[in-house]
Structure 1
Amino acid sequence: MRVLPSLMAASLGLVLSACQPAQTPAASNAGDAAATPAPVAAAADGGGDGAGNQTLYRCGDLDARATFNGEDAATVVIGGRSFAMSSERAASGAKYGDGKGNSFWTRGSDDALLSLKGEADRECSAVEATEGDGSAGNAAFRATGNEPGWLAVVDGDTPGLQVDVDYGERRFTVAKPTEGADGWVGKAADGTDIKLSFQRTTCQDGMSGETFEAKAMLAVGTRQYHGCGNFGGK
């Protein structure tokens, strides 16, 4: 009669031994399933890098285009000068500097302070919201372009042809431009030849994505600028 318990124990051992290998693949599959999301998360992190947010500021007598790459870096372009800056400690707002005496300090969403080595500080105000609007309003024609930024307005608030080029660093006025079938031409007060021409075909701004009524080309002396334009009420 004592043989039965021994046989039962042996049988139970064989059953448990047979079941054990079946559990091992299950545990392995569970581990694989838990590891699967890791590559997805990495891809999501990699996709977080963007081209940055750009804002145009009027800083005293200069126009500055600031490109913010998150909170750690910014690139400030002023005419032909470009400053690559990194975040610096500030009591408020966000301050960026290049370690060479140049800095750009934002104060709220619209104001900033531009400090260039050897020059007086300049208070800045964001103008992207107003000048970025391509509407010509009551002007006869309004055209704008990028890199470098330029703006030309025919018979706007001031009669004649008003031209700002190189982010506002150079400005010209043609008091009485000659109007032709495809644009306006004349001389600025300093004798510089100015010509603003258009082609009536759909034009899309490469930076804002806004659609305009016409392609535009501005010639200031021998320098040419390309962009888009709209016709207004005049």
Structure 2
Amino acid sequence: MRVLPSLMAASLGLVLSACQPAQTPAASNAGDAAATPAPASVAAAADGGGDGAGNQTLYRCGDLDARATFNGEDAATVVIGGRSFAMSSERAASGAKYADGKGNSFWTRGSDEALLSLKGEADRECGAVEATEGDGSAGNAAFRATGNEPGWLAVVDGDSPGLQVDVDYGERRFTVAKPTEGADGWVGKAADGTDIKLSFQRTTCQDGMSGETFEAKAMLAVGTRQYHGCGNFGGK
């Protein structure tokens, strides 16, 4: 249930500006949870359809997937399922810490570890997920799709299990060992007999929460429940 190329400038001044090296988020302090700079192995420059967003990394935080976008040195946006938290940097003894002033924070510690604190919930230790599993691209997966409200993730990787699905913010997980591939998607049965179908439409799709641009619209059916989102294609 994780990358972004720089835009071409129309003038020499813009070109020179675009060539400046990307900055990692500055250290911060305060708050219940924290965030650190995105690992270089997972982060990337903003997508061509973006508006200058910074480095982005997917973290696995206990039972939750958190997508953190670090915007320059002063801000970060953390998306968890259908929830989005806009945070500002705060001082921290080490790493980089971001908080929204409402009891939510994200604190990165080291190159691939972080601490997520959500108001009213126990702190969660986080680890960066490899780009092939979880940033905006599909990486080595044949297809990777995500959606919001409720948050879901589906990955087709060609290995066993061939189709992995997390729905309802990661509360339910299904795997289909050998899904049947069709012209517009994959279908099969999970181990418990639940019918799973992941289909796509090759047209530009924009994530409503992050603003990310994807290669395809995606629809996931789990039993009689349907989920809508966006997806990218990768290498099998």
TM-score, normalised with respect to structure 2:
0.55
Classify the secondary structure of the residue corresponding to 2:217.
Answer: strand
User: Does the 8 Å CA contact 1:72/1:86 hold for their aligned counterparts?
Assistant: yes
| Cα distance, 1:156–1:107 mapped onto 2, change above 3 Å | same
**Higher relative contact order at CA 8 Å, sep ≥6: structure 1 or structure 2?**
2
Cα displacement string for residues 107-136 of structure 1 (whole angstroms, at most 9, x for unaligned residues)? 133221111233222111222533258998
Cα displacement string for residues 17-51 of structure 1 (whole angstroms, at most 9, x for unaligned residues)? 99999999999999999999999999999999933
| Structure 1 residue 170 displacement after superposition | 3.8
| Structure 1 residue 168 displacement after superposition | 4.2
Structure ID, larger Rg: 1
Distance (Å, rounded) in 2 between the aligned partners of 1:4 and 1:113: 24
Distance (Å, rounded) in 2 between the aligned partners of 1:50 and 1:202: 19
Equivalent of 2:205 in 203, 206, 210: 203
User: Does the 8 Å CA contact 1:111/1:125 hold for their aligned counterparts?
Assistant: yes
Distance (Å, rounded) in 1 between the aligned partners of 2:198 and 2:148: 16
| Higher deviation after alignment, 177-186 or 64-73 | 177-186
| Higher deviation after alignment, 137-146 or 97-106 | 137-146
| Structure 1 residue 70 displacement after superposition | 2.3
Distance (Å, rounded) in 1 between the aligned partners of 2:4 and 2:146: 99
Q: For structure 1, list consecutive stretches of 5 or more residues without a partner in the other structure.
A: none
| Higher deviation after alignment, 167-176 or 100-109 | 167-176
Q: For structure 2, list consecutive stretches of 5 or more residues without a partner in the other structure.
A: none
| Structure 1 residue 183 displacement after superposition | 3.5
| Higher deviation after alignment, 77-86 or 44-53 | 44-53
| Structure 1 residue 59 displacement after superposition | 0.9
